[in-house]
């Protein structure tokens, strides 16, 4: 390995990026770290762990004998991730800020910043595999640890940016990574994985969202048109949701859970059901795909897909409806396909790319008006 090949690792203070940096050092790369601060609000409160994470990243880099750079991308994060997050919720959709953050910050601003620091590659602690071919082509593969595979979160990153990244953890399982960290004496070898949306922390999601979006109460109806109660605002609910509806034990109905099945944005009404089968659909439409293949595959395409993280691969057929609009058909019904989320395509262990879900097809409840 040519020691002049310089790699800057995105250091989060967690065990994954720490082990990624140590592996690259052992492989002979010239390694440096970069800690990215992406959120200013609540800095220094119990909701934000940035200060602690920076300290942990600094300790690891000092232990490894590598430099740690810092960069503040909070303004860009607000403009390109958080504002879209809010606008999607205000429009009654359910966005995925983790996918947006990877596209806009971690594999966009990070790549550009690392290049200015003289890096040949960047690296992260994602559980995916990247294949750099002799002809310069790049392929994104799922991580070998099925419980940790994070290819779903990278589906919207442009192929050219992924080609500049190394993924040292793709062939490892999480227990193996923790064992490596313990072997190296890393203090964070048992540090809890970050979960949920980074800028919300441990707060209730509804409390956080209410800080930025005005409450817009309305009525809750069953699919048969019975008024069951009031909602706080359609932005605070998502399809398939059963918790926090406040309508348990509604008079005249069986003592069974209620599920959000539709939103009537025009009338500001939330539609719920006790019949889970009404959440099923066989198809969706989506926006233009970010293909992680060059050239893009010919359509129609028979492959598999995930409509949410940690979902098992589902057989599907992808076809094009028009410029910028595609149709994904599933032989088996899919539960609670949610506009604003992403559909990610796979061929065996190859991640083919993904797109934003725009609408649910053959869903008879989308146009209910009471």
Confidence class of residue 4 from pLDDT cuts 50, 70 and 90?
confident
Q: For position 191, what pLDDT does the model report? A: 86
Which of 165, 198, 316, 351 is labelled catalytic?
198
Rounded CA separation 99/343 (Å): 11
Predicted pLDDT of residue 200: 61
How far apart are the C-alpha atoms of 33 and 169, rounded to whole Å? 16
Please indicate whether the domains covering 6-190 and 278-361 agree at the CATH topology level.
Answer: no
The pLDDT assigned to 206 comes to: 77
The per-residue DSSP string of 103-131 comes to IIIIIIIHHHHHHHTT-SEEE---SEEEE
At 263, phi and psi to the nearest 5? Answer: -125, 130
Residue 368 pLDDT exceeds 60: no
pLDDT above 60 (res 45): no
| Domain at 214-274: CATH architecture | Roll (2.30)
Percent of the chain at pLDDT > 70 equals 92
Q: What are phi and psi of 328, to 5 degrees?
A: -120, 120
Q: Does the pLDDT at position 365 exceed 50?
A: no
Which top CATH class is 6-190? alpha beta
H/E run at residue 83: helix 83-90
Q: Per residue in 74-86, pLDDT tens?
A: 999 999 999 999 9
Cα separations in angstroms, 134 against 131, 138, 139, 203, 250: 10, 9, 12, 47, 64
Rg, Å, the chain Cα set: 22
Q: Report the alpha-carbon distance of residue 317 to residue 304 in Å, rounded.
A: 8
Contact by Cβ (8 Å): 164, 108: no
Backbone angles phi, psi at 56, to 5 degrees: -65, -40
User: What is the DSSP secondary structure assignment for residue 298, as one 8-state letter?
Assistant: P
Domain 278-361 is found in CATH 2.40.30.10: yes
Task: Delimit the domains of the chain by residue range.
Answer: 6-190, 214-274, 278-361
Q: Which of 48, 61, 101, 286 is catalytic?
A: 101
**pLDDT score recorded for residue 38:** 87
Does 101 qualify as catalytic in the annotation?
yes
Each residue of 298-337: pLDDT tens digit? 999 999 999 999 899 999 999 999 888 999 999 999 999 9
316 is catalytic: no
Whether 291 has a pLDDT exceeding 90, the answer reads yes
């Amino acid at each position: 390995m040519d020691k002049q090949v310089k790699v800057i690792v995105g250091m989060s203070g967690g065990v994954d990026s720490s082990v990624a940096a140590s592996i690259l050092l052992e492989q002979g790369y010239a390694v440096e770290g970069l800690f990215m601060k992406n959120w200013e609000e609540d800095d220094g409160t119990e909701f934000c762990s940035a200060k602690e994470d920076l300290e942990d990243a600094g300790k690891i880099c000092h232990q490894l004998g590598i430099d740690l750079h810092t960069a503040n991308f909070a303004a860009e994060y607000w403009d390109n991730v958080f504002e879209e997050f809010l606008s999607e919720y205000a429009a009654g959709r359910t966005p995925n800020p983790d996918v947006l953050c990877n596209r806009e910050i971690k594999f966009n601003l990070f790549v550009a910043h690392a290049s200015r620091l003289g890096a040949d590659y960047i690296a992260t602690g994602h559980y995916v595999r990247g294949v750099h071919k002799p002809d310069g082509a790049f392929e994104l593969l799922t991580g070998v640890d099925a419980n940790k595979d994070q290819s779903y979160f990278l589906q919207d990153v442009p192929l050219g940016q992924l080609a500049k990244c190394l993924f040292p953890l793709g062939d490892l399982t999480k227990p193996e990574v923790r064992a490596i960290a313990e072997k190296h004496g890393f203090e964070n070898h048992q540090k809890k994985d970050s979960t949920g949306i980074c800028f919300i922390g441990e707060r209730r999601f509804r409390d956080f969202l209410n800080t930025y979006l005005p409450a817009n109460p309305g009525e809750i109806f069953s699919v048969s048109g019975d008024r069951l109660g009031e909602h706080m605002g359609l932005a605070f609910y998502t399809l398939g949701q059963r918790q926090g509806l406040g309508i348990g034990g509604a008079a005249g109905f069986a003592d069974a859970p209620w599920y959000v099945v539709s939103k009537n944005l025009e009338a500001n009404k939330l539609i719920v059901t006790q019949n889970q089968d009404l959440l099923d659909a066989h198809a969706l439409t989506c926006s233009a795909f970010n293909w992680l293949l060059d050239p893009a595959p010919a359509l129609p395409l028979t492959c598999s897909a995930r409509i949410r993280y940690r979902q098992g691969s589902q057989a599907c057929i992808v076809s094009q409806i028009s410029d910028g609009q595609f149709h994904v058909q599933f032989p088996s019904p899919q539960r609670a396909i949610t506009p604003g989320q992403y559909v990610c395509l796979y061929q065996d262990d190859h991640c083919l790319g993904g797109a934003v879900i725009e609408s649910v097809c053959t869903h008879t409840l989308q146009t209910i008006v009471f």
